[in-house]
Amino acid sequence: MKIKILFAFALVLSTSQALAETLLERGEYLVRGPMGCGNCHTPLGPDGPVAGQELTGRLVDKNEAFTAIAPNITPAGRIAEWSDAQLAVAIREGKRPDGSTIGPPMPFAMYRGLSDNDLKAVVAFLRTLPSVESDVGESEYNIELPPAYGPPVGSVADIPRGITAQYGAYLAGPVAHCMECHTPMGPNGPMLEKAGQGGFEFHGPWGVSIAPNITPHEDGLAEFTDSELAMMITQGKRPDGTMMLPPMPYGYLAQMTDDDMAAIIAYLRVLPPLPDPE
């Protein structure tokens, strides 16, 4: 009985905290925190994100398949001409107002699960950013983009916030899209039956980094404590002191609340344990 009372109290407290948060506060937290939008949309200098250029766009990846340029998403960019509803569809479904499809690496497989309220908060916050002129060019794709990433998304309800694996799955999936990078890719995107197995390669100025296994298998996270995992996620620092490589958005993930971090770790602990890909 005591446990049930404590759980109910925690749920009420979490709900009241969520209600006290404004739409803009939630949007700012998501964009500058776990969603890490600036990891692709903010120009990088030798010392990190360029001051005064937040979300003004940059070249994200250039390879044989495509040259991906994340556009300026301040009110000075192309989104100024889009309605809030059109911007929401672009974020969650990868569809521009003219009907064209937005290409990778935008994680639409994950963003399709963003709740209506969180999506609304993100759009509202983007509208408040300083307008900064920046023409970073257009993406070019040597691959055929799909006409859509799925049927139109209907209403997506909120996941109750709390230190639960359920909320952690929402944060690690639709919000922070951890599972997009840490899951093997198939012809239709992440193979979710192998969620968290790792193995995806990233090529960049740092060389090649391989997304590690984040399931509770001995090849993955089994040997790490919760505090060690939190340090790795937010600081890119392993327990032995060695540093991890980009493109993990450590600085953005470091803005997460302790409860949200704990929820993500709770979710990772209950993933089916999988060995590293062969």
* pLDDT score for 198: 94
**Weakest-pLDDT range from 74-88, 153-167, 193-207, 219-233:** 193-207
Predicted local distance difference test score (pLDDT) of residue 190? 80
Q: Does pLDDT of 193 surpass 90?
A: no
Q: What is the pLDDT of residue 18?
A: 53
Percent of the chain with pLDDT over 70: 93
Q: Could you tell me the domains of the chain?
A: 23-141 (1.10.760), 165-270 (1.10.760)
pLDDT confidence tier of residue 229, bands split at 50, 70 and 90? very high
Model pTM? 0.91
Calculate mean pLDDT across residues 26-51.
95
Mean pLDDT of 132-149: 94
Comparing 64-68, 76-80, 189-193, which segment has the lowest mean pLDDT? Answer: 189-193
Q: What is the pLDDT, as a whole number, of residue 188?
A: 72
Comparison of pLDDT for 16 and 54, the residue scoring more: 54
268 token code pair? 């990772």
